[in-house]
């Protein structure tokens, strides 16, 4: 009964006209950035964070969530039509989706992606509604040692699951932690790493760092490839499935939904790993494995269901523990902080309308996305012909003006430029910026809980091992890093990300 009452509150919140409007806007923008290769939800949310400052908290977060899971839908469109995934997690969809399109079955592939995504998103949101409240209640029993160990586990897991070298991912985490220490000491007020700049006394602006490292750096990287991009789009028809095709996708959709629901909770790249895992499972279980890579509809159904289920369940650690599963969730935490809300287990108690409104809006958004992705496919196809060099100046100006508007501080605009160059250099060096942002967001929390725990124990570090939950979390962190460096695991991990590239 309590769940029904909470869902009723969520429906009441989500179905207000303004929240419905911004849910639609978020889904529309998410589909757009998913369709346009090279932009992505992380850069888009980073650049839109400034304008959400003037929104009501629930409205802002509903829109930003819509952008994220909308991009999972939109990314499949270009993967299927032109073999160019708009989103990383859609890379595996291109393997069989594009081959179906070449055989004149683009409509069936797009319908499979949309229906599988809708089912998976709906089920995963229901799991989120069931799992979040008990997890949040359990988290209320956490003290400083438990939170410190939980954050360590999250950072270690993000290193283990990051794209590319584990050593480089560790370096990005450390750099992010150092950037998070810029500003005044939380207990003594002593300035740290400010280099005489008064503007840095309150720390680096989260929006400026995110926009620079993800938005501007991504634009610079994509401008390099503009001349090599060739778009060939064919007319799409028969946007529905035969009875035989529906029968063939039923089990792959169910299996992909289950995999994505579980793997989406993992820190790092759960939504990416889930799509590749679903593809591997379908190929292994199929009676016709030789069809995979040549246009097997199961190779579209499983991965698309998995990545959309993972997109929904990745909200669980963010909403209940205040721990981001990946960079988009780190940006969502930034949105909470901008709105004056402390993310974590108290959100469900202190802001029930916001919490349940976001969950219900995901069901609404999934329905909107089916409507946006199938009937409007012609519009999305035409957008693929827009030159990227026409889009990027407007994107940069929009992001800079929005970031300046938050605090009317010109220093933040300079910070965007600096971190844009830093992000671009990191990408060229083969360093993934995602762990940097996680370290930057979680660094201050890590320091705060470490120092609180040491005060409680009068300087005895054994407090982290004497408390059972803390010791268990640290043991899991050790296991995660050991498993990640095992030769067989490293080979498998490298194979996955090489296929993605």
- Check residue 10 and report its DSSP letter: H
Distance between CA atoms of residues 172 and 127, nearest Å: 33
Which segment of 34-38, 71-75, 89-93 scores lowest on mean pLDDT?
34-38
- pLDDT confidence of 437, banded at 50, 70, 90? confident
Percentage of residues in the chain having pLDDT higher than 90: 6
Residues 475-493: b if buried by 16+ CB within 10 A, e if exposed: ebbeebeeebeeeeeeeeb
Residue 24: per-residue pLDDT: 92
Q: Where are the domains of the chain?
A: 2-139+147-498
Which segment of 11-25, 268-282, 374-388 scores lowest on mean pLDDT?
374-388
Distance between CA atoms of residues 179 and 202, nearest Å: 12
For 436, the token pair is 């940097």
Q: What is the pLDDT of residues 309-334, one digit of tens each?
A: 888 888 888 888 877 777 778 888 88
Among left, alpha and beta (phi > 0; psi -120 to 50; other), residue 459 is: left
With beta carbons less than 8 A apart as the criterion, state whether 18 and 59 touch.
yes
The CA distances from residue 294 to 74, 246, 289, 307, in Å, are 22, 19, 10, 21
pTM over 0.95: no
Distance between CA atoms of residues 299 and 93, nearest Å: 7
With beta carbons less than 8 A apart as the criterion, state whether 210 and 440 touch.
no
Please name which of 134, 149, 146, 31 lies closest in space to residue 90, comparing C-alpha atoms.
Answer: 31
Q: What is the pLDDT of residues 364-413, one digit of tens each?
A: 988 888 877 777 776 776 766 666 677 677 777 777 776 776 667 788 88
- Check residue 429 and report its DSSP letter: T
For 370, the token pair is 């089916």
DSSP string, 289-308: GGGTTS--THHHHHHHHHHH
Only one residue has tokens 């194979």, namely 495
How crowded is the C-beta side of 421, counted as CA atoms within 13 Å?
Answer: 5
Residue 298: per-residue pLDDT: 87
Distance between CA atoms of residues 307 and 414, nearest Å: 36
The CA distances from residue 137 to 84, 212, 319, in Å, are 43, 36, 12
Distance between CA atoms of residues 61 and 68, nearest Å: 11
- Check residue 292 and report its DSSP letter: T
With beta carbons less than 8 A apart as the criterion, state whether 384 and 233 touch.
yes
Q: 3-state secondary structure string, 231-279?
A: CCCCCCCCCCCCHHHHHHHHHHHHHHHHHHHHHCCCCCCHHHHHHHHHH
Distance between CA atoms of residues 30 and 69, nearest Å: 7
Please name which of 24, 65, 34 lies closest in space to residue 331, comparing C-alpha atoms.
Answer: 65
Any idea what the Cα angle at residue 416 is, between residues 415 and 421, rounded to 5°? Answer: 100
DSSP string, 339-353: TT---STTHHHH-HH
Residue 388: per-residue pLDDT: 64
CB atoms within 10 A of CB 47: 26
With beta carbons less than 8 A apart as the criterion, state whether 264 and 291 touch.
no
229-243 average pLDDT score: 61
Distance between CA atoms of residues 388 and 4, nearest Å: 47
Only one residue has tokens 């757009």, namely 32
For 174, the token pair is 């450390």
298-307 average pLDDT score: 87
| Start-to-end CA span in the chain (Å) | 47
With beta carbons less than 8 A apart as the criterion, state whether 122 and 363 touch.
yes
349-363 average pLDDT score: 89
- Check residue 200 and report its DSSP letter: G
Distance between CA atoms of residues 248 and 195, nearest Å: 62
Distance between CA atoms of residues 132 and 134, nearest Å: 6
User: Is residue 501 over pLDDT 50?
Assistant: no
- Check residue 386 and report its DSSP letter: S
With beta carbons less than 8 A apart as the criterion, state whether 299 and 96 touch.
yes
């Amino acid at each position: 009964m309590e769940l029904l009452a909470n869902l009723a509150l969520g429906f009441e919140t989500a179905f207000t006209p303004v929240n419905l409007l911004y849910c639609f806007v978020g889904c529309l923008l998410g589909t757009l950035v998913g369709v346009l290769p090279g932009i992505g939800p992380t850069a888009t949310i980073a650049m839109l964070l400034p304008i959400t400052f003037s929104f009501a908290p629930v409205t802002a977060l509903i829109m930003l969530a819509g952008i994220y899971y909308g991009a999972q839908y939109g990314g499949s469109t270009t993967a299927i039509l032109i073999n160019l995934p708009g989103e990383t997690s859609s890379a595996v969809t291109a393997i069989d989706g594009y081959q179906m399109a070449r055989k004149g079955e683009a409509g069936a592939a797009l319908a499979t992606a949309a229906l599988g995504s809708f089912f998976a998103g709906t089920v995963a949101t229901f799991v989120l509604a069931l799992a979040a409240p008990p997890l949040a209640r359990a988290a209320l029993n956490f003290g400083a040692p438990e939170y410190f160990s939980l954050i360590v586990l999250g950072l270690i897991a993000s290193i283990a699951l990051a794209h590319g070298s584990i050593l480089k991912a560790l370096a990005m985490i450390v750099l992010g932690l150092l950037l998070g220490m810029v500003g005044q000491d939380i207990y003594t007020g002593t300035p740290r790493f400010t280099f005489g700049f008064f503007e840095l006394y309150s720390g680096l602006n989260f929006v400026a760092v995110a926009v620079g490292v993800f938005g501007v750096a991504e634009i610079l990287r994509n401008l390099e490839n503009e001349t090599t991009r060739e778009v060939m789009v064919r007319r799409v028809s028969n946007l529905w499935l035969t009875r035989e095709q529906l029968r063939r996708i039923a089990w792959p959709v169910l299996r992909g939904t289950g995999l994505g629901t579980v793997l989406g909770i993992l820190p790092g790249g759960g939504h990416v790993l889930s799509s590749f895992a679903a593809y591997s499972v379908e190929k292994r279980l199929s009676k016709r494995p030789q069809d995979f890579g040549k246009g097997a509809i199961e190779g579209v159904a499983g991965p698309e269901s998995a990545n959309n289920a993972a997109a929904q369940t990745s909200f669980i650690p963010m909403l209940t523990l205040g721990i981001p599963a990946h960079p988009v969730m780190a940006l969502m935490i930034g949105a909470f902080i901008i709105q004056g809300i402390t993310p974590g287990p108290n959100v469900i108690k202190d802001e029930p309308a916001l919490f349940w409104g976001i969950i219900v809006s995901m069901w609404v958004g999934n329905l909107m996305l089916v409507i946006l992705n199938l009937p409007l496919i012609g519009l999305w196809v035409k957008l693929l012909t827009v030159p990227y060099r026409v889009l990027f100046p407007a994107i940069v100006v929009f992001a800079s003006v929005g970031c300046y508007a938050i605090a009317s501080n010109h220093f933040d605009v300079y910070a965007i430029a600096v971190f844009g160059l830093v992000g671009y250099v990191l990408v060229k060096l083969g360093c993934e910026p995602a762990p940097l942002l996680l370290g930057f967001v979680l660094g201050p929390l890590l320091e705060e809980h470490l120092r609180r725990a040491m005060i409680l124990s009068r300087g005895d570090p054994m407090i982290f091992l004497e408390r059972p939950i803390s010791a268990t979390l640290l043991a899991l962190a050790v296991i995660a890093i050991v498993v990640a460096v095992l030769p067989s695991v490293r080979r498998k991990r490298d194979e996955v990300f090489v296929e993605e590239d």
